[in-house]
């Protein structure tokens, strides 16, 4: 019976309030808006993208960069992962890496869900200075960073 009530609430929010998934960081429309921000604020430069949305398992972002980033912007980041030097866990991932843009070694984009231990995750990027950042209403933050001088 609780499932019926939850389903009715979801339908009500979707049909009458129009805000179903409005604050869900895993909503695919939100993922695409976040990736647009990453590309637009990289100004056509190559970059590495590190994602903490959700923690560790960032496959929706990896896939969206591969599919959407290449389709809309013509390239994908030099690296897309949970963190620097992490193994690729996606089978046959080398097929998706053909359109990577060169990396000058200084620009990264960090995307993170603002919950639990994301501050701990951000500490690994302390040698990079924030160039621009954005907080989205779906509880996701994104930053463009470069190596500090």
* Structure confidence by residue, pLDDT tens digits, 108-117: 999 999 987 8
User: What pLDDT, on the 0 to 100 scale, is given for residue 149?
Assistant: 85
Reported confidence tier of residue 27, pLDDT bands at 50, 70, 90:
confident
pLDDT of the residue at 47: 94
* Predicted structure pTM score: 0.80
pLDDT for res 80: 87
Q: Kindly state the average pLDDT of the residues 135-147.
A: 94
Q: Which of helix, strand or coil describes residue 103?
A: coil
Residues contacting residue 140 through CB under 8 Å, at least 6 positions apart: 25, 30, 34, 53, 111, 112, 113, 114
Among candidate residues 141, 149, 136, the one with its CA nearest the CA of residue 122: 141
What rounded mean pLDDT belongs to the chain? 83
Residue 18, pLDDT > 70, answer: no
How far apart CA 40 and CA 21 sit, in angstroms, is 24
Q: Torsions phi, psi of 5, nearest 5?
A: -65, -45
């Amino acid at each position: 019976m609780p499932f019926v009530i939850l389903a009715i609430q979801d339908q009500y929010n979707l049909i009458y309030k129009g805000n179903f998934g409005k604050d869900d960081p895993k909503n695919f429309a939100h993922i695409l808006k976040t990736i647009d921000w990453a590309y637009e604020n990289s100004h056509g430069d190559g970059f590495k993208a590190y994602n903490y949305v959700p923690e560790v398992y960032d496959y929706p972002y990896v896939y969206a960069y591969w599919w959407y980033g290449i389709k809309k912007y013509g390239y994908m980041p030099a690296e897309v992962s949970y963190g620097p030097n992490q193994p690729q866990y996606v089978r046959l991932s080398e097929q998706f890496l053909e359109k990577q843009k060169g990396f000058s070694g200084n620009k990264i984009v960090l995307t993170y869900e603002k919950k639990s231990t994301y501050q701990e995750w951000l500490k690994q990027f302390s040698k990079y200075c924030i160039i621009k950042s954005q907080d989205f209403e779906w509880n996701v933050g994104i930053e463009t960073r470069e190596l500090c001088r």
